């Protein structure tokens, strides 16, 4: 594996952790992991927001 592969793997693992709402403190020093966590948290927030909007709008059409 080269450094790009490690960076992508760290990002992907971080994204999965972010979606799941957890963080690995040991991996937190890795910038690629942290960016993945932030992206995963944003994805989870957007999913929850859309679900809340749909619920609020249900029956108001």
pLDDT digits (tens, 9 = 90+) for 44-58: 999 999 999 999 998
- The pLDDT value recorded for residue 1 is 78
- The pLDDT value recorded for residue 59 is 67
In total, how many domains does the chain have? 1
Structural domain containing residue 47: 3-57
DSSP string, 6-61: HHHHHHHHHHHHHHHT---TTGGG-HHHHHHHHHHHHHHHHHHHHHHHHHHHTT--
- The pLDDT value recorded for residue 2 is 87
- Which segments of the chain have a pLDDT < 50? none
- What span, in angstroms and rounded, lies between the C-alpha atoms of 39 and 34? 9
pTM, two decimal places: 0.85
């Amino acid at each position: 594996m080269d450094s790009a592969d490690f960076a992508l793997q760290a990002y992907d693992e971080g994204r999965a952790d972010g979606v799941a709402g957890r963080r690995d403190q040991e991996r937190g020093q890795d910038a690629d992991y942290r960016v993945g966590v932030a992206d995963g948290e944003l994805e989870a927030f957007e999913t929850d927001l859309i679900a809340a909007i749909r619920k609020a709008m249900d029956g108001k059409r």
